[in-house]
Structure 1
Amino acid sequence: MSDCGTRAISVIAFIGSVFSPWYRWSGRKDPENNVCINVATYGRGGRFTMTDRGRTALRQSEDTFTVGPSSLAWDGQTLTINVNEISGPPLISRVRGQIRVTPSAITDVELPLTPDGAHIWRPFAPVSDVEVDLDASGWKWSGHGYFDANFGTRALEEDFSFWTWGRFPAQKGATCFYDAVRLDGSELASAFHFTPDGQASEITLPPKQAVRRSLWAVKRETRGDEDCNPHQVMNMLDAPFYSRSMVRTVLDGEESIGVHEALDLRRFRSPLLKPMLAVRVPRRSGWTFKD
């Protein structure tokens, strides 16, 4: 999120693109044949890019991850993301430039999302500085950000019906909430506070607070002080099964605007949804590196 609060960006690198209809239609047997660097920009002139690519587009090393024309590289201090993608409809254009994510520290936290560890959340750097420099008017800015990963050996919809996640900055770090309802009816409810030096502590969960449903009527809720009224301040990504937005809440008396996500996996399981997703997530199976 930009320091001025008017722009934001998200980048998700996938091996086995969990929200790709092409990966689902393939039977999810070959994750390296469905790879993607999903880039979305929010605010005036925002764009959405998510191209599903084949295994010839994938290159990996200990410190680099490349999918076709875009890449991530870690030098021990900063994650540098070079982007060169084409956005999907209705605004088709090139999204090109560089994003730099510099963590204040790296944590050692891992949270199993299911009892058998089939899904893991790894918040590498919940407190980070972000610099964005894209080839578009108004898209050179700095702000605060976050760097995490999710790992899984089963499809999300095989184990979950609904979840919400949120990361809220604070004067002394950042607080993250993970709430989920599993298909067996059990629930996950976790809250962590992270200090700038990477220390993590599990905290008492504030009460759940309802947030107005998204434009696609996806249910939303987050955490906040007893008398607060969390609400959306910017719509970032709105899909029939998924919502990402900037949400304002209050935690321990401190007002915070953070990124909030809600995912309805009951809707995502619908086969009727996959052709709709294919319009936003094109498949480009062939790729040849020039070097």
Structure 2
Amino acid sequence: MAGAARFDLAVPPGGYAWWYLDALSDDGRHALALIAFVGSVFSPWYAAARRRGVASADPRCHVAVNVALYGPGLHRWTMTERGADRLQRDARTLCIGPSTLAWHDGRLQVELDEWAAPWPARVRGRLVLEPLASTGANFALDAAGQHRWTPLAPSARIEVDLDRPGWRWRGQAYLDGNHGARPLEQDFVRWDWSRAALPGGATGVHYDVQRRDGSTLGLALRIADDGAIESVAAPPLQPLPASLWRVPGMVRADAGHRPALQRRLENGPFYARSLVETRWRGEPVTAVHESLSLDRFAARWVQALLPFRMPRRG
């Protein structure tokens, strides 16, 4: 098990580690995203602890499992923050409250038992992710290497069996990891990220970062079905419609092609997640896309809203 696939990464005060997966059902009707945080970077409680002093902001006291479900007539969001006494982890297993992520025989098994917010609804059941392509490579997102990203399993299959809300489906999935030694808002203004399955089993990933020091980073990667990573020429950035909260977004698309917003999955005051129809290197793709504004996240009016979606227990 290499690099950020381990759940026992050291996380310094004020820092973070998270493991992210998303999935689309084979019939195109359902989607989900899951993020497990040690040092919940978007938590208003952790942000307040950092304002009191980064050196004393313990990431183990701010852990959460965020689950977002998207289906016909259904949208559920969980992100209950918990304290250090509800965290257990080693290299292969991460337990946060009643939910667990664990590696078994090369597959990631996720046992969920969470409550949605702000309207209470249960999210309970199992996800099993089987990587088809794995990598151990990691990429620095800032010049000093304080923030790193790893495309752990850019191509994967998933089995979803949730008795709440009664979902059973299979589909295509993606898994990555991020970890850092400093708060995101300290070093970044915003970013746009997208990934898409390509013909032949490869995966394309674009990561466009605007740093706090005024510099930028643009990663354009093609990850083959054997995990080999190739840097490729990035197509031009094209604008997306602003979200409900007026969060701007940009996505990569071949010159002369106008990307189309297929479905807005998530609308938040500082974050948007979408499915986008676009074209990369001559291939039509459906990309999972996110736009993140750290300036928005740091705004006090946004911080005041977040506890309604991110309650804390313990």
Alignment TM class, shorter chain as reference: over 0.9
Number of the residue aligned with 1:37: 65
Number of the residue aligned with 1:227: 256
Compute the displacement of 1:93 (Å): 0.7
Number of the residue aligned with 1:146: 174
CA RMSD of aligned residues (A): 1.1
Compute the displacement of 1:199 (Å): 1.0
Partners of 2:44 and 2:78 in 1: CA distance:
15
Number of the residue aligned with 2:10: none
Gaps of 5+ in 2: 1-23
Contact conserved, 1:9 with 1:39, CA < 8 A, in 2?
Answer: yes
* Counterparts of residues 97-116 of structure 1 (less than 5 Å): 97-116=125-144
- 2:50 is aligned with 1:22: no
Percent identity over the alignment is: 41
Gaps of 5+ in 1: 286-291
Contact conserved, 1:160 with 1:181, CA < 8 A, in 2?
Answer: yes
Number of the residue aligned with 1:289: none
Number of the residue aligned with 1:288: none
Contact conserved, 1:212 with 1:231, CA < 8 A, in 2?
Answer: no
Find the residue that maps to 2:25 and give its secondary structure: coil
Number of the residue aligned with 2:293: 264
- 2:276 is aligned with 1:276: no
Contact conserved, 2:190 with 2:291, CA < 8 A, in 1?
Answer: yes
Contact conserved, 2:124 with 2:165, CA < 8 A, in 1?
Answer: no
Number of the residue aligned with 2:78: 49
Match of 1:63 among 61, 71, 92: 92
- 2:199 is aligned with 1:176: no
Find the residue that maps to 1:117 and give its secondary structure: coil
Number of the residue aligned with 2:241: 212
Contact conserved, 1:210 with 1:221, CA < 8 A, in 2?
Answer: yes
> TM-score, normalization: structure 1?
0.95
Match of 2:188 among 143, 160, 163: 160
Partners of 2:75 and 2:25 in 1: CA distance:
13
Deviation string 1:173-199 (CA, Å, 9 cap, x unpaired) is: 110000011111100011111111111
> Where does structure 1 differ by over 3 angstroms across 4 or more consecutive aligned residues?
none
Number of the residue aligned with 2:115: 86
- 2:158 is aligned with 1:130: yes
Question: Residue type matched to 2:276 in 1?
Answer: V
Question: Residue type matched to 1:171 in 2?
Answer: P
Q: Which moved more, 1:158-167 or 1:267-276?
A: 267-276
Contact conserved, 2:235 with 2:253, CA < 8 A, in 1?
Answer: yes
Question: Residue type matched to 1:64 in 2?
Answer: T
Find the residue that maps to 1:47 and give its secondary structure: strand
Partners of 1:183 and 1:251 in 2: CA distance:
28
Compute the displacement of 1:97 (Å): 0.6
